[in-house]
Amino acid sequence: MSVRSVLLGFCVILLPSLAHATAIVGTMQEPFNYDPGTLFPNTGGTPNGGTGWNLTGDGTQANTAGWGTNTQNNGAAAGTNRTATAGGLTSSATGYAAGTGNKLTLDSLTPASSESMSRLLGGQTIDAGSTYFSVLMRKDNDTLRTFNLAFFSGTTEKLTVGQVGATVSGALAGSNGKVAVIYNNSNPAGIRPSTVDMGTGVTHLIIGRVDWNTSGLLETVTAWVDPTDVTTEAAALPAQFYTGTEFDLTSMTFLRPFTGNQAAGPPIAVATIGSYDELRLGGTWESVTSAIPVPEPASILSGIFGVLGLGAMASRRRKS
């Protein structure tokens, strides 16, 4: 058998996995820059703001995936208790891009039912390379019920960051009020807690990284909470609370912020009110932490003249 035949055989074997493995394209951001009182429906695809929620992951075309465009939406009537509220969440971390607009507030307390809404990742199915995400989260009332951001593969919840709540009075189950990573919606087997309390009225910056294993094996997940310096991944190292290669996440196809409903009896069973802001996904640390610098007009002109100068030099060399 020739070497060429052997190579062709390997290519045929590898083609299915190569075709399936897809890294995140571009970046997706949602600053919740909507007017206060804007409602988020269960269905219908609007509001669909932010940037990058499309197959190219950029702002050059309309977003193709709005909020509430699939089945992972819970709560009262469409739009009720899922609103944009005034005053965005902020982080003081060095190097973190300042937020814009308002925030998303999910109120499970008023209707005593869980509230959530989901958004497809612009039609992308992400299962290769490295995927970074970041979010600002603030639990707005005193409860140990569930308050977290989940990432799904198809209809299966695979990876979650935030708080996992107790389901019965007196049982300190879940993450015991701590910020945590949760696998496969599994309580308690899938919970990997930090030492940081979610608290009440406290804004947390949570950053995650998924390194995908294209051989169908286990993914490596790393998570940070409340870093004080995000200028580089290394600078944020003291805030890293988890890294592990434990579960097969399959892929990412959409995300879902969630607040938990009321469980049986007080005091820990109170439904959750919580806020989310600055959802960001990308393929690099900088894409979920830092603003892309916009050159000053003087810098732009300098660059243009520099290019013209190089062109003139090349022309003189060709004539000499």
Taking only the tens of pLDDT, the chain with its 320 residues reads 554 443 334 333 333 333 457 999 999 999 999 999 888 875 555 678 899 999 999 988 889 888 887 767 777 655 568 899 999 999 999 999 988 889 999 999 888 788 998 999 999 999 999 999 999 999 999 888 999 999 999 999 999 999 998 765 445 578 989 999 999 999 889 999 999 999 999 999 999 999 999 887 899 999 999 999 999 999 999 999 999 999 999 999 999 999 998 876 555 568 999 999 999 999 999 999 985 444 444 443 444 444 344 444 444 444 44
User: What pTM did the predictor assign?
Assistant: 0.84
Handedness of CA 76, 79, 80, 84 (dihedral sign): positive
Q: What local confidence, expressed as pLDDT, does residue 6 receive?
A: 38
Residues 240, 234: Cα–Cα separation, whole Å: 10
Q: Give all domains of the chain, ordered by start, each with its CATH number.
A: 23-319 (2.60.120.200)
Count of C-beta atoms within a 10 Å radius of residue 102: 23
What gap in Å lies between CA 165 and CA 137, rounded to an integer?
A: 16
- C-alpha–C-alpha distance, residues 24 and 1, integer Å: 39
Q: Quick one: tokens of 31?
A: 């600053």
Amino acid symbol at 76: A
Q: Smallest Cα–Cα separation from 43: which of 108, 112, 118?
A: 118
